[in-house]
Amino acid sequence: MFDADMFDETSPSHFKRNAGVKGFVDNWDDADGYYRARVGEVLDNDRYEVTGEVGRGVFSTVLRATDREGMREVAIKAIRANDVMYKAAQTEVVICKKLSGADPENKRHCVKLLRYFEFREHVFMVFEPMSMNLREVLKKYGRNVGLSVLAVQKFAKQMLVALKHLKNCGVLHADIKPDNILVNDKHNLVKVCDFGSAMFDGQNEITPYLVSRFYRPPEVVLGLEYSFPMDLWAIGCCLWELFTGRIAFPGKSNNEMLKLFMDMKGAIPKKILKKALFTDKHFDDNYNFSLMEEDPVSKTMIRRIISNPKPGKDLDLLASHGKGLDDHERLKVAQLADLLNKMFDLDPEKRIKVSEALQHPFVKEPKN
């Protein structure tokens, strides 16, 4: 077991594998290395009693539990038991500890890490509990139609506060999506969670598959250097989805994602394409876009050249979404469209900054 007070955040190597419990691995893990918790099981020296399983992702299982010491509910993230996941957990704990330590009043809308410990070859991270994620909120309250623009406004401000906190701490989340934004039981408070893909700015490697595909920005797809604007793009995708009930860029591949970007915003500037590492995968020597499509007859992939893409998916279409809006709601929808237009700038250097987004009229209401 290890404890926060024993952990030096500058040295992830201070994690120590507990070699004395390897005999439990076969009994307590499934074939993929997920921890198989039992309801009623007690973890960490009889402190946390497992009451259920919230869900399972690529990296971990999330459990519901009761903290017997504090007599409160908690969420416990059990990292999968393999060397790659174990190493990633070291970074995640360091990042969560930094974010929580820099937010002593718990007002920055990042889910708070309470403790962490090691047991049966797994790293367990204990977080404050929340009710559900925004994906679940959309399914329950806004399937195919979205949420009210005033609800989106409230969530947008909180998500941007979280993003500013991340930037102040030098952290890139790198996997912002509705699934990774939690909501409380009153549905008036959201917090960004799941820092399993997060990194400190400057430690990033160029890869075309960072961030879940629907929320992946052009700079990642094309192989440019990326930084904080990456997460802001993903927040924009979340806001679009919250309001419309539909995914903004539902591409089936990186190639199709680029087509959808240009459908909304027009041609990608050549100065970007000239710097990008993966331009030749999607553009010819004259920077004409090559769309890979399935031939309806032969069912084989064919290449279609698009030489001068024009924006057709007008952001103003948001204004037509929803019926019976009052004057204030229509104004907020127009402001949301303007904010998203700035968040979806294809050039990350020209994309609106998080500090500017927090001052945008959609987010910041004028004082009376």
Catalytic residues, by residue number, are: 175
Measured between alpha carbons, how far is 213 from 199 in angstroms, rounded to an integer?
A: 18
Query: What is 114-153 written as a DSSP string?
Result: EEEEEETTEEEEEE---SEEHHHHHHHH-TTT---HHHHH
Other beta carbons within 10 angstroms of residue 254's beta carbon come to 19
Q: How far is CA 151 from CA 137, 176, 248, 270, in A?
A: 12, 19, 18, 38
List the end-to-end C-alpha distance of the chain, in Å, as a whole number.
54
Lookup result for tokens 């539990």? 65
Residues 6 or more apart from 364 whose CB is under 8 A from it?
Answer: 157, 358
Measured between alpha carbons, how far is 146 from 139 in angstroms, rounded to an integer?
A: 9
Nearest to 358 by CA among 152, 157, 154: 157
Measured between alpha carbons, how far is 355 from 171 in angstroms, rounded to an integer?
A: 16
> H helices within the chain, ranges in order?
25-28, 83-101, 134-141, 149-168, 218-222, 229-244, 254-265, 270-275, 327-343, 354-358
Question: If 0-12 CB within 10 Å is exposed, 13-18 middle and 19+ buried, where does residue 45 land?
Answer: exposed
Other beta carbons within 10 angstroms of residue 271's beta carbon come to 10
Residues 6 or more apart from 20 whose CB is under 8 A from it?
Answer: none
> H helices within 169-313, ranges in order?
218-222, 229-244, 254-265, 270-275
